[in-house]
Amino acid sequence: MNNANDPEQDQLNRLLLDSLSPIELSKVRHDMLKQDLLTRAAKSVANQAGLFTVRAKDGVWQALKNGIRVKQLWNGAEQGNSVLIEFAAGASLMPHRHNCLEEGIVLRGDLQMGNLRLGPLDYHASPAGSRHGGISSQHGALAYLRGTSLGDTHEVLREVLGGLVPFGQNRSLTVYADNTDAWQEIAPGLWKKPLWQDGARESCFYRLEADTYYPAGVHQGEQEYMMLEGDLFIDDRLLRAGDYQIAEAGSKHQEVYSDVGATLFVRGKLS
């Protein structure tokens, strides 16, 4: 029953609050609680060893050209970089040829590549050597790119020059958000949507329903995460939509849990 507008209940609440007083802790009890908190904090830091996280609100945005800016997330060396790229309405990039596998996910807005139109949570992969035309956005967009040359001037120049020669087979792959048939339930409340596989590595979407747990484990290879929707706890670290994380090979993840549900992109060793 809602008592928000009940004057008698309000008066009772005030009387109860006025009668409450803080509990005085003894020094021994205070020191015990402090030590417990410090111990837990130290354990949490140890559990997060080998994990690198970029929060949605952190990082530095840099102008790429008029109407387009980029935020660096991770330098992947020979596998390309991971970035966020933001398009203003009407902004565009010129055609280019990819030096390595580039994967992109639209986080917000719209992108267009020739006749291909992408919206929120649509996925697109362009293998090494593939070429596509210019990329533009009619209304503005935010996208996550993995395996891009952005952030490396020399590699960007190579891609742009390669894009000037219009040859090569289009071997790209697009997986649309509305393709619900691709989801596979691999454990109670845990769903997987395969996207791309090459050699010993794969890219997938994972979805956790509310109140779903995933057991602790060890990363057999480097693993990359991009939070797309919802909230996710890894031990006591909370990841939210827009947060990025990469785990080194050999690092451990504690129990994974979502109380409201979550969707994330994962690139790592083939399971």
pLDDT the model gives residue 1: 46
167 — pLDDT class (breaks 50, 70, 90) = low
Read off the pLDDT of residues 222-242 as tens digits, 9 standing for 90 and up. 889 999 999 999 877 899 999
Overall pTM > 0.75: yes
Interval 120-124 mean pLDDT: 96
The mean pLDDT of 30-46, rounded to a whole number, is 76
Say whether 27 sits in a helix, a strand or coil: helix
Please report the pLDDT score of residue 195 as a whole number: 96
- The 10s digit of each residue's pLDDT in 68-77 is 999 999 987 7
Integer Cα distance of 179 and 86 in angstroms: 25
Structure tokens that stand for 172 in this block: 């790209």
Please, which residues have CB within 8 angstroms of residue 248's CB and are 6 or more apart in sequence? Answer: 50, 51, 52, 219, 222
Pairing status of strand 102-109 against strand 141-148? antiparallel
Strands of the sheet containing 102-109, edge to edge, are 61-65, 68-74, 81-87, 141-148, 102-109, 123-126, 173-175
- Judged by DSSP in three states, 182 sits in helix
State both tokens at 241: 């939509």
With 90 as the cut, is the pLDDT of residue 155 above it? no
Q: What is the pLDDT of residues 52-61, one digit of tens each?
A: 899 999 999 9
47: confidence class by pLDDT, cuts 50, 70, 90? low
State the amino acid at position 69 in one-letter form: R
Alpha-carbon distance of 166 to 206, in angstroms, equals 36
